[in-house]
Amino acid sequence: MIRLPDSFSYVRSRETLARSQVFRRSWPVVLDLCVAGIGLACFYGVVQLAKYWFGHPSPEIQISLSPHALPRYAFYSVVRIGLAYLLSLFFAVGYGYVAAYSRRFEALMIAGLDILQSIPVLSFLPGVMLAMVALFPTRQIGLEMGAILLIFTGQVWNMAFSFYSSLKSIPRELSEASTIYKFSRWQRLFTLELPYATIGLVWNSMVSVAGGWFFLMACEMFVLGSRDFRLPGLGSYLQTAASTGDFIAIGWGLATMIAIIVATDQLIWRPIIAWSDKFKFEQVETGSRVTSPLLQLFQHSKAVRSLRKHTVDPLADSFYRRVDENRRAAFERRRESYIKGTAEADMERQERWIGIARGVVLALVLGGVLYSAAHALSLLNNISWHESGEILKGALATFFRVNVALVLASLWTIPVGVAIGFHPRLARIAQPLAQIAASVPATALFPVILLALVQMGGGLGVGSIALMMLGTQWYILFNVIAGAMAIPNDLREVARLFKFTRAQRWRTVILPGIFPYLITGLVTASGGAWNASIVAEYFHLKNQTLQTTGLGAVISAATDSGQFQILLLATIVMALMVVTINRLVWRPLYRLAETRYKLGA
């Protein structure tokens, strides 16, 4: 055997080191190019979207079932759901914040949230769509904004409930620390409240986007009296394919949707979940963490670091500096007013102006409510006793289906959600699958399910329960996953050290830990099940309409025929039933979660 001289090995090692240094220097350049490519792609999409939105509306759009039309339809649908989600996120944070900290309006705002989440998408449809079309009569953006707002009504309520419940369950020691260090409201929001609510908000965001996909078919293609509204998109493609019984087109549409959902999971949700893991409230760090290659790409990109260093950080410092200066100036003005003896007069003057402004706002709101109520009562005068009896009969039938769907969904989502939340390796596999299953519109699969049930001897009465479960069980699953992930690792370590049995772990650690998240999931799932009844109890299949007795069927049929008086009464009955259930059942459980099952040292 020939032995190479030591100098040759030294040269080989020097060459290897040089190549590794070149790779290290070139790798950030590759990352920056990837980030730049993503930015250019987004810019091009915005330009193309602006051309379409600000063009003239088409009088009648024909939905093509050709697979070649799917990329364009998918792009339009993704943009609608994305914009509706951003609008939902800002609304949820603002509404939840005000409801959590306003003693005067908290009860009213939560009651309003109960009512709003119980109103089906189709009940918002006439007012929202007609208002947007009237606002932009010569531009396509009117129909687009109407569809986005309708998707918004199917996404926002569980996010608002999640943020509200997170704020109400912040540990007392963290709140006291922010008070001791004299955090301003903005500092408290960005350093305590948003980080603490991040995990629940992220998982509820995922189920909200899944809900947007669920109602996409109803929001992109619908009939309102004599007018037929259609928008090019994946939802209208699937609804057209389902109504004509074209199972090949349904397969192409579902395949496209699954591809989008997988890409969304890898490009958006997986990085966000990995990033949000650092906000977990615990004293013992867990051994395994969720990872994301895309998050590492952005974290190691020189362009992103430079952008943050020269733009984001200076803006944040300037903002906090200005907030601090305003606080100091306000303190100095109060101190001077006390020295001069004018403090009481200034406070009285300020309270007087605040009272006047509050009175004006309340008068305007009360006037609007009375005006709307008067018009609503005039519509209800045209409803016969027979129609009222059918609405009440349908309400009882839908109430039974909703509760059966909730019980069946809870039986499997609670243990599965805890298992996924406790095991990050399992979450990496199960979370994308759950996201796909939650996002696939059950209405697209319903023709196959309905035909199978008919052959088995069932009907739409049983099929509607299955469709409700397919649309609402994910609210419970994703909230349970968020609750299991939020349980501090030190509590689980204590249970392991003391050798708790499985029953003891569930009774003393798991169920108390996930309880606030579980209640949020059940509340939103209950409202979602009532909302899903509009597509579960009334279905178009091969040019025929299948329906069963239920409140959702009444609302869908009234929307199709333009009978707004029946639509209004059915919506009021549904809202009253949901609010009554929330007041008698869910609200006491919420108070229990805020007091007894609240994390704290």
User: Is the CB of residue 195 less than 8 Å from the CB of residue 138?
Assistant: no
Based on the domain organization, do 560 and 474 belong to the same domain? Answer: yes
Asked if residue 58 belongs to a domain, the reply is no
Per the structure, how many domains does the chain have? Answer: 2
Asked if residue 474 belongs to a domain, the reply is yes
For the stretch 46-104, pLDDT in tens is 666 666 666 666 656 778 888 888 888 888 888 888 889 999 999 999 999 988 888 87
Based on the domain organization, do 545 and 445 belong to the same domain? Answer: yes
Band of residue 286 on the pLDDT scale cut at 50, 70, 90: low
Q: Is residue 1 over pLDDT 60? A: no
0.75 exceeded by pTM: no
Asked if residue 35 belongs to a domain, the reply is no
Band of residue 504 on the pLDDT scale cut at 50, 70, 90: confident
Domain end, chosen from 367, 400, 418, is at 367
Could you tell me which residues come within 8 angstroms of residue 388 by beta carbon, excluding any fewer than 6 positions away?
Answer: 569
Average the pLDDT over each of 2-11, 213-222, 276-285, 290-299 and give the range with the smallest value: 2-11
Based on the domain organization, do 394 and 524 belong to the same domain? Answer: yes
For the stretch 129-186, pLDDT in tens is 777 767 776 677 777 888 888 888 878 888 888 898 888 888 888 888 888 887 878 8
Based on the domain organization, do 522 and 404 belong to the same domain? Answer: yes
Could you tell me which residues come within 8 angstroms of residue 374 by beta carbon, excluding any fewer than 6 positions away?
Answer: none
The CATH number given to whatever domain includes residue 197 is 1.10.3720.10
pLDDT value of residue 199: 84
Inter-helix orientation angle 511-536/551-561, to 10°: 40
Based on the domain organization, do 417 and 517 belong to the same domain? Answer: yes
Residue 116: Cβ-neighbour burial (10 angstroms; 0-12, 13-18, 19+): middle
Average the pLDDT over each of 155-164, 301-310, 471-480 and give the range with the smallest value: 301-310
Q: Is residue 250 over pLDDT 70? A: yes
For 349, the domain range is 303-367
Mean pLDDT of 443-462: 65
Asked if residue 152 belongs to a domain, the reply is no
Asked if residue 43 belongs to a domain, the reply is no
For the stretch 427-439, pLDDT in tens is 777 777 776 777 6
pLDDT value of residue 16: 52
Asked if residue 1 belongs to a domain, the reply is no
Domain end, chosen from 332, 367, 402, is at 367
Domain end, chosen from 321, 339, 367, is at 367
Asked if residue 235 belongs to a domain, the reply is no
Nearest CA-CA partner of 212 in 129, 149, 154, 145: 154
Based on the domain organization, do 577 and 544 belong to the same domain? Answer: yes
Based on the domain organization, do 356 and 407 belong to the same domain? Answer: no
Based on the domain organization, do 410 and 331 belong to the same domain? Answer: no
Based on the domain organization, do 432 and 532 belong to the same domain? Answer: yes
- CA 279 to chain centroid, in Å, comes to 19
Based on the domain organization, do 318 and 224 belong to the same domain? Answer: no
Cα–Cα distance measured from residue 396 to residue 386, given in angstroms and rounded to the nearest whole number: 16
Share of the chain above pLDDT 70, in %: 70
- CA 449 to chain centroid, in Å, comes to 27
Based on the domain organization, do 397 and 312 belong to the same domain? Answer: no
Nearest CA-CA partner of 590 in 508, 524, 532: 524
User: Is the CB of residue 445 less than 8 Å from the CB of residue 535?
Assistant: no
Asked if residue 260 belongs to a domain, the reply is no
